[in-house]
Amino acid sequence: MEFNKYGEVLEHISLKDYNTYKVDSLCKYFISINSIDNLVNFVNDYHDKYFIIGNGSNIILKRESYDYPFIKLEFNEINKLNDNEYYVGAGVMPGALINELYKENLGGLEWASGIPGTIGGIIYNNAGAYNDEISNFVVSVKVLDKDDNQIKEINKEDCGFKYRDSIFKETNRYIILGASLKLRNVDVKEAKELILDRLTRRKASQPLEYPSAGSVFRNPEGDFAGRLVEVNEFKNYHINDAYVSEKHANFIINKGNASGADIVNLINEIKQKVKDNDNVELFLEQEIIE
Ligand SMILES: Cc1cc2nc3c(=O)[nH]c(=O)nc-3n(C[C@H](O)[C@H](O)[C@H](O)COP(=O)(O)OP(=O)(O)OC[C@H]3O[C@@H](n4cnc5c(N)ncnc54)[C@H](O)[C@@H]3O)c2cc1C
């Protein structure tokens, strides 16, 4: 199929620079789409499997190569709607958004400054940190409904936001195009200090010097996944170059050429041992891409 009419196409590329684990899987077609019309045409014309990739910061590329297209949305607009409300394209990263908002003394997203995702991925996962999450800011989400190929506006109440979950994740029916966010008035100097404090805390507790995709497992009710992994003596345990971090047991890091399969095998070993020893079933926070 001729994909050039929808956007820029890269063929037979390594995905290493498109996932934060730096897994070196191959991709047959990587298509960057920068207009909604082109996306609508693509979805209209192409009925086989494809994958929407954000910044690749919550995925494990399990296969050595992917024959189906990866679609990257280059929707990077940040538009003011009214005093406290902005429309933000799905491809925007938190750092860029936060800086833009400070020009208007708006903020509230300081918790997201260390999250290397796109607004699309952040809404899909209802990402959060430090007792805040994106759902607290969403007014509505603009989507392409794959069922009828119509563009729709979904109000926050209908987004099914829960802990690291949403209707977008549950149904896989929608492509997120962007969202209207309601921001808070902030003192920019104080907000910047808060960001610095958050980043310092992250650096102290997380292995940011190595490629990873953030927390591996969800915290089980009343416990911490990292504690369970640690008491089962997995710290520094590895399969090839996929290591359980010494610094934070709920992180798997790539110390060189870890494959997605290495990471998945390590995850399965951990799950099995924690189940056998502690009778707790650990659930993944990251997503395995088959
Ligand atoms: C160092 C580090 C720290 C992290 N800290 C946190 C944290 O504090 N809190 C937290 O919640 N997460 C954290 N994460 C995880 C990750 O950054 C978030 O889950 C983020 O929301 C993923 O966004 P992404 O754009 O990278 O999505 P991707 O990983 O590219 O994709 C994830 C899923 O979202 C879907 N998706 C992406 N964009 C769209 C779209 N436009 N429409 C429909 N579906 C879409 C993809 O298809 C895929 O299923 C961290 C990750 C790292 C590496």
Q: Which of 208, 190, 187 is nearest to 199 (CA)?
A: 208
Q: What is the pLDDT of residue 1?
A: 67
**Whether the Cβ atoms of residue 254 and residue 23 lie closer than 8 Å to each other:** yes
Report CA(58)–ligand 1 centroid distance (Å).
4
Q: What is the pLDDT of residue 286?
A: 97
Whole-model pTM: value is 0.97
Residue ranges making up the domain that contains 65: 8-73
Report CA(95)–ligand 1 centroid distance (Å).
14
HSE (side-chain half, CA atoms, 13 Å) at 31: 23
Do the domain assignments include residue 3? no
In the predicted model, residues of the chain with pLDDT beneath 50 are none
Report CA(133)–ligand 1 centroid distance (Å).
13
- Determine the 3-state secondary structure of 186 from DSSP: coil
Quick: pLDDT tens for 109-143.
Answer: 999 999 999 999 999 999 999 999 999 999 999 99
Quick: pLDDT tens for 217-235.
Answer: 999 999 999 999 999 999 9
Index of the ligand 1 atom closest to the CA of residue 285: 19
Q: What is the pLDDT of residue 172?
A: 87
Residues 60 and 87 in one domain: no
Residues 222 and 140 in one domain: no
Residues 66 and 85 in one domain: no
Q: Are strands 26-33 and 70-73 parallel, antiparallel or unpaired?
A: parallel
Q: Which of the residues are catalytic?
A: 164, 215, 285
Domain end point (choices 19, 44, 73): 73
Q: What is the pLDDT of residue 2?
A: 86
**Is the Cβ atom of 253 under 6 angstroms away from ligand 1?**
no
Backbone φ, ψ for residue 276 (5° rounding): -65, -45
Q: How far apart are CA 49 and CA 53, in angstroms?
A: 13
